[in-house]
Amino acid sequence: MSPDAAATLALRLCEELGFAAAGIAEAVPSAHADNLRDWLAQGKHGSMEYLARHVETRLDPARVLPGARSAIVVADRYAERGSVDGLTPPMHGRVARYARGRDYHAVIKRRLHALCDRLREAMPGEAFRAVVDTAPVLERELAARAGIGWVGKHTLVIRPGLGSYLLLGGVLTTATLTLAGEPVADHCGTCTRCIDACPTRAITPYSVDARRCISYLTIERRLPIDPSLHAPLGDWLYGCDICQEVCPHNSASTERPARNAPAQSPMREDYAPRFASLDLLEVLGWGAADRSRALSGSAMKRATLAMLKRNAILVLGNVLARAPHAAALERVRAIAGDGDEPEMVREAARAVLARLGDSARRTSPTR
């Protein structure tokens, strides 16, 4: 099959499979290897040691699929531009938009495997490998090269006309496909909204210090969270969308900045939110079976029960710092002294009590 025909087929299949955008890039080594190495050398990956361990693989798609020549890159939309959350219900913690519906790994992988199967039939003898977050691939850089969008100052991919509420995936292949998708110009310009709005000051242009990023802290970090970051967590129980919420390219009223930008493609039903927030006291009462039941089919399962309880107690601390609530405070006290709770959760409870200080002592518990 000719590279042109292979590209046409791949893009048609991506459309049939319902991806919001697709493009084709050369599967060549990263052009930003030094940036990644510097970022790692500065420890900005926090405790995500796997990023440092597989760095050479991450920098070269041919190490993930030997002989890789092309990358078909796809994107799913998981939230509407201009989507605004109302007030978080009392005693609830917010969940980042990408984790409110069905687990994107399953949703994307299933369709990428179907794409691989169809392409294998058409090109026997070539190898295809689906990648979605689980393989060491620089998906954002590949997406930018494939013309899906540009990498914004908050380091997420923004597609003209669609915004950044995008989940990325791809297929590496040994087949040569004609490149499809012009690189998209950077439209961040002089804007600094994401940098200014980030509550932990995690963003420097085109780089995020994961050690300060609420998404990393609440989703990836399996260790205690530094007390200086407890208040900035705000009401985020799992993830954080602030840098995306403030981005003008996620505003429903934003003009399409690029000529020939694609029309809005529909959001997949799979990502329809099952919940936007969770009841903090309920999470604090979960056992392993409750967590499995409540988060069945959700990407939130990435966080362990101890991490979710740690997050819940820290968000509860922020709620209590704003307005006393005797029963909730008593719950924090009980957890701090409960030897059956994981030490990380008890430590978080102790930190909340220490932070509340006098006000905690003044608020008499509900009996």
One of 13, 123, 143, 214 touching ligand SF4 (CB under 6 A): 214
Nearer to ligand SF4, 214 or 328 (CB): 214
Question: Choosing from 4, 76, 117, 133, which is the catalytic residue?
Answer: 133
Q: Which long-range contacts (CB under 8 A, 24 or more apart) does 28-35 make?
A: 28/61, 29/59, 29/60, 29/61, 29/62, 30/58, 30/59, 30/60, 30/138, 30/141, 31/141, 32/138, 32/141, 33/59, 35/207
Burial class (CB in 10 A: 0-12, 13-18, 19+), 252: exposed
- Region near ligand SF4 per CB under 6 A, out of 75-83, 241-249, 294-302, 312-320: 241-249
- Cα 351 to the center of its chain, rounded Å: 27
Minimum CB distance to ligand SF4, residue 155 (Å): 8
Q: How far apart are CA 162 and CA 254, in angstroms?
A: 10
Nearer to ligand SF4, 70 or 311 (CB): 311
Nearer to ligand SF4, 136 or 234 (CB): 234
CB atoms within 10 A of CB 273: 15
- Region near ligand SF4 per CB under 6 A, out of 100-108, 151-159, 282-290, 324-332: 151-159
Q: Is 331 in the site for ligand SF4 (CB under 6 A)?
A: no
Q: How far apart are CA 46 and CA 212, in angstroms?
A: 9
One of 51, 95, 184, 240 touching ligand SF4 (CB under 6 A): 240
One of 213, 300, 313, 315 touching ligand SF4 (CB under 6 A): 213
> In the complex, which residue's CB is closest to ligand SF4?
152
Q: How far apart are CA 81 and CA 163, in angstroms?
A: 6
Residues 6+ apart with CB under 8 A from 339: none
One of 112, 143, 167, 194 touching ligand SF4 (CB under 6 A): 194
Are 154 and 205 in contact by the 8 Å Cβ rule? The answer is: no
Max Cα distance, the chain (Å):
76
Minimum CB distance to ligand SF4, residue 232 (Å): 8
* Catalytic residue list contains 133: yes
Q: Is 211 in the site for ligand SF4 (CB under 6 A)?
A: no
CB atoms within 10 A of CB 302: 16
Residues 164-193 that bind ligand SF4 (CB under 6 A): 188, 191-193
Q: Is 215 in the site for ligand SF4 (CB under 6 A)?
A: yes
Q: Is 95 in the site for ligand SF4 (CB under 6 A)?
A: no
Tokens of residue 316, six digits: 């509860």
Q: Is 152 in the site for ligand SF4 (CB under 6 A)?
A: yes
Residues that bind ligand SF4 (CB under 6 A): 152-154, 188, 191-194, 198, 200, 202-203, 208, 213-215, 240, 242-243, 246-249
> Which residues are the active-site residues?
133
